[in-house]
Amino acid sequence: MVLKMGYQPNAVTLTTLMRGLCVNGEVRKAVDFHDSVVAQGFLLDEVSYGTLINGLCKIGLARDAFEFLREMEGQMVRPNVVIYNMMIDGLCKDGFVTEAFGLYSEIVGRGISPDIFTYTCLIHGFYSLGQWREVTQLYCDMVDKKVNPNVYTYNILIDTLCKNRMLTKANDMFNLMIERGEQPDVVTFNTLMSGYCLCNYVDKARKLFDTFVEWDIVHDVWSYNILIIGYCKIKRIDEALILFNKMHCTNLVPNIVTYSSVIDGLCKCGRISYARELFSTICDGGPSPNVITYNIMLDALCKIQRMDEAIELFNLMFERGLTPNVSSYNILINGYCKSKRIGEAMNLFKEMDHRNLVPDSVTYNSLIDGLCKSGRVSHAWELFNAMHYGGMSVNVISYNVLLDAFS
């Protein structure tokens, strides 16, 4: 409309119009507008291009945004570090971390200094892919270039070290963070606690949990969840229950992860009745059980061969609008096979196909074992062949089950 009326808008006016379209979620219209004004010979500045690049990156179209970056370079409009950061952030969020790193290398080669945002985006991108070596290398580059990490960057670095079970280095990073004047937050402490629990140092995690108040940090639900999961993992269920009850006194509302963890811990310690009671509590009100919660209860019931209760619970999943997954079926199939109810196991196997669920090696191995132990070795062999010729990976468990049957 502006162009049709004969006005000769400058870059500021054009940018304002494009920004308005982007803010209203009409990024494609902003791109079309760009194409129109460029075709008519109007020149855009770095703010104009930055507006488009930012808009495209925010809707997950970083590669489209990259074309505008190259266009502005071709128009002799020099991108600054902010625009490069938009691109690097967008590429990382869209999963193109290698391309983002390539752009980082390019800007360094051009003499543009990356800032804390550049490094944090890349560190988070490689961290998301589990590429720990690249995370470490980027941290070293930061230090070399005198760029100080912020709390978010430190949290990623500490988590990377914890996930690799390098707890001494994680603690060193924590101490370095404090020395450099960065205040740790609840995520920092939760991350360290999670690292301790991963290595079964639950008492060290608890000690850290108890120091929160000294740092003026308030526990969140995940602080409790991490420690509860840690206690359950090493079968110290009573301590997990004390923490679970303490949550209610601190006005924190346990979520489904909390309940699922406690139910799992109770089941693994043989306290099925208490687990069922807790499960019923959340079914009647509270966080709704998810497929994982149901699978925990199914597994516990199947292991003590209470198959009728297990199938009743399984059917309840459908009534509550949940869709059982492959693990749900595997648990029941294995339970039926162990209870020598092979016919019901086979019926569930067929049902998986009707529900478009693909059996895995656990499914096949349970059935092959069940068929062999019920004397139906020829059927087991047929299933083994179906598994093999269907492209399923046949592992040592499958062979051992058949070898035992033929020996």
Can you tell me the mean pLDDT for 333-347? 95
Q: What pLDDT sits at residue 121?
A: 94
Give the Cα separation of 241 and 247 in Å (integer). Answer: 10
Q: What pLDDT sits at residue 252?
A: 92
pLDDT band per the 50, 70, 90 thresholds, residue 387: confident
pLDDT band per the 50, 70, 90 thresholds, residue 8: low
Given a cut of 70, whether residue 10 has pLDDT beyond it is no
Give the Cα separation of 56 and 53 in Å (integer). Answer: 5
- Which region among 5-19, 37-51, 81-95, 172-186 has the lowest average model confidence (pLDDT)? 5-19
Given a cut of 80, whether residue 41 has pLDDT beyond it is no
Which residue's structure tokens are 């924590």?
A: 174
Given a cut of 70, whether residue 99 has pLDDT beyond it is yes
Identify whether the C-beta of residue 83 lies closer than 8 Å to the C-beta of residue 69: yes
Mean pLDDT is highest, among 345-354, 371-380, 382-391, 397-406, for: 345-354
pLDDT band per the 50, 70, 90 thresholds, residue 7: low
∠ CA 324-395-381 to the nearest 5 degrees?
A: 85
Q: What pLDDT sits at residue 367?
A: 92
Given a cut of 50, whether residue 1 has pLDDT beyond it is no
Given a cut of 70, whether residue 406 has pLDDT beyond it is no
At residue 167, what is the residue type?
Answer: L
Can you tell me the mean pLDDT for 373-381? 86
Q: What pLDDT sits at residue 295?
A: 97
pLDDT tens for each residue of 277-293: 999 999 888 899 999 99
Given a cut of 60, whether residue 5 has pLDDT beyond it is no
Long-range contacts (CB closer than 8 Å, 24 or more residues apart) made by 239-242: 240/265
∠ CA 91-93-95 to the nearest 5 degrees?
A: 70
**Closest CA relative to residue 233, chosen from 200, 260, 210:** 200
Q: Is the pLDDT higher at 13 or at 147? A: 147
Give the Cα separation of 257 and 115 in Å (integer). Answer: 37
Q: SS3 of 353, please?
A: helix
Q: What pLDDT sits at residue 72?
A: 82
Given a cut of 50, whether residue 95 has pLDDT beyond it is yes
Q: SS3 of 357, please?
A: coil
Cα dihedral value 137, 139, 142, 148, nearest 10: 180
Given a cut of 80, whether residue 241 has pLDDT beyond it is yes
Given a cut of 50, whether residue 124 has pLDDT beyond it is yes
Given a cut of 60, whether residue 332 has pLDDT beyond it is yes
Q: What pLDDT sits at residue 177?
A: 92
Q: What pLDDT sits at residue 222?
A: 97
Q: What number of H helices and E strands is found in the chain?
A: 23, 0
Identify whether the C-beta of residue 371 lies closer than 8 Å to the C-beta of residue 380: yes
Q: Is the pLDDT higher at 386 or at 160? A: 160
pLDDT tens for each residue of 181-202: 999 999 999 999 999 999 999 9
Q: What is the mean pLDDT of the chain?
A: 88
Q: What pLDDT sits at residue 59?
A: 87
**Closest CA relative to residue 199, chosen from 235, 162, 248:** 162
Give the helix/strand (H/E) hosting 39.
Answer: helix 27-39
